[in-house]
Structures are given as structure tokens and as C-alpha cells.
Structure 1
Amino acid sequence: MAQDKDPPLMVRGFAIWRGWLDAPAQAAMVADISAVARAAPFVAPVTPGGRPMSVRMTVAGRVGWVTDRQGYRYAARHPSGVPWPPIPARVLALWRGVTGLDRDPDCCLVNFYGEGARMGLHQDRDEGDFTWPVVSVSLGDDALFRMGGADRGAGTESLWLRSGDVVVMGGAARLAWHGVDRLRFGSSRLLPQGGRINLTLRVVTSA
């Protein structure tokens, strides 16, 4: 699939595939994620220190990334006790197409950004094997994405991600600091009430 696309934009080791998903593919993926959210409803997460996060979260996959006062971790079930639904086939096809890997992700973290939501600079480092890439999919409103390096003090660069863009964080960028500063709320018509859905696909263990 990747061979049919223009080469990605490379920024600090982040591979940014502009417009990987066209409008019909975006709408189909939103429908898939809506089904995930019906099975495992969005929750309002808090950090281990008790600070509410501005995004809402759910998960599809074998395990799900969660955060609460017990810490950051992967859990086998939704906080309500129901199992996480499987990762939709279209999402798995995107992962295989953009990475070329046979190994599928264990977790598809789904973050919903409403008006005013953001995500502070962080590293994805709760996984057991950092040799696998992390893939991020943008659906809905434009988001100002900030990218740094593995060193927290290495400085950052930012660019606007649009609906249908896909970012691959592998190699030197796998443990790079990154975050979302803000949205252009209402910049997309994909989600009827506005906002942004971000999918983050991760391999949690090497097995």
C-alpha cells in the first residue's frame, strides 16, 4: 500500500504520511471506532497524581493502556470490567500498509479531543519492546502536533496534522517526546459535533 503513496514528510525521525486516508476511508474508520466505543465506552482518565486529562479514552485490542491513581499501565479489561473489543480490520490494514509489518499491534488507544483538549509532551514507554513502531492516525479537526527528541530538553518542532494523516514513530523517534498543543476546533466536518479522534497503535510485547 505504501508504494502507492507519496513519500512521507520526515521531521526529527517522525514519518508523516499526509492524507493516507481519503474522505470515504475516514468516515468508515469513524464508524468502526463508534462501534468500539459502544462496546467499551469512553472514560475520562486521570493521571496517577489525580489530575483530570482533557481527552477522553477508550481502547480496542488484546490489552488497553489505562491511567488512574494506580499508575500508567496496560490492562486486559475496560475499567467497567468488560473486555476490550478487537481492533477493527480497517485499522489493522492501515497498520500493515504503513509499516509493512506482519506483526499486528496489541493495542489501539483511542483518544477523543473536544474543544480545548490537548496532550502534554510525553513519551510512549510503557511497552515491553521499543523496537516496534508506534502509529498515530488523525481523524477530524486539525491538531498542532509537537515533536521533540529522546532527550526532554532537545527542543521541539510543530506542524498541523489534518484528518487522514498518519504518523509513524519508529527508530530514533520511537521514544521521542511528543504532544498536541491545541485543535482548530470545527476545522473538519468529519465528526458531527466537531473534535478529533486520534488512534495510537502499539505493540506491547515482543511475543
Structure 2
Amino acid sequence: HAIGATGGHCDATGWREGAVGKETGPEVGVINGADEARRAVRLAHKYGATVIKTCATGGVLSLADAVDTPQLTQAELDALVDEAHALRLKTAAHAHGAEGAKRAIRAGIDSIEHGSFLDDEALDLMKHKGTYYVPTLMAVQGLSEQIQKGVPIPPAIKVKAEDAIAHVQQRFQKAIAKGIKIGLGTDAADRFIDDLERSASS
């Protein structure tokens, strides 16, 4: 499981109490506080994870959150990354917004995924700390194509998608200009992505 906050982008339990049984916890990657962050990492490691992914901000494809708002505290991210690195696991943060990304970068996260609204401070921090940037361009391209084709997309998601699409390429070019290390990734859970070859050509 990716690790995130109750009610955040990584909490897949729905919007109504009891919809999927009892409220979730670290066992399925939903945390509140630094101790639960450590427990979630240890459980993921126990069950075979080799990379710990966290949701540091809201997401494009989730209905209930703003795409750029931070969803984990600095203390939670510090604990998560510290525990993962102690177990020799790599870490990745889903992060569209600058503030959530900066918290993850300060914590020592190994890569930022998406980064649609990274500001110069976030990019400079990434350069300083050697953080990889994975802009998931194919996911953005896939969403753009779906919107152009008129595929039904919930209005709240469409607004967020169009905002991210308008910004991510500029952030990507800035990251290249600053000499930030770039990783190739497709955002594989996204139903709109295509193959890795198209992602590389983007």
C-alpha cells in the first residue's frame, strides 16, 4: 500500500462511514502521526515492499481533495523516510503541490512523482539534496487525450487535470535547466496511461 493520511489521496475507503467496514489504519497504509508512519513502513517491509510510496499532497484523480494541498505533516514524513531508509528501502512521494513536496524533500525522500506545481524553492531543494524528479508525463498526456476525446470525467477531476496539464511541462523544463536528476515513470496505477515507450518519447 502507498502510505498517506486519513481521508487523503492514499485512503481508498470511500466517503461514508462504514462503507468498507471499520476505519483503516497503518495495516493498509493509512496513518495519523509519526508512530503510525513508522508502523506502516515496517508492515510494508514485512510483506515484501522494496520501495515505500507516500502521498504527500492531494491528487488529480481523487474527488475529495485539492490537488496541491499537503496531506502529511513534516514529522510524519520525517518518520516515514527515516524508517524506510533504516530498512534500506527507497522512498517516493506522490506530490503535486509545492509545500507537500518540500516537506517530503526536507525529510530526505528519494523521488518526487508528478510535481505539477513545484516552485523554485522546491526545485532548488531537490537539486541540493539529490532528489529525483519523475514527472509522469505519459499520465498527463493520457489525461489530456481523454479530455480531448470527450471521455466522461467527473467535473472536479477534469478541472484538476486541466490545471496539472497546464503546468507540468513547464516544471519539467525548469527541472532540466536546474540539472535535477530525472526519472522515467508512468504512474502505473492510472487507467489513462499508455506504454513506457510513449512515456519516454514525451
* Higher relative contact order structure (alpha carbons within 8 Å, sequence separation ≥ 6): 1
Greater share of helix:
2
**TM-score normalised according to structure 2 size:** 0.27
**TM-score normalised according to structure 1 size:** 0.26
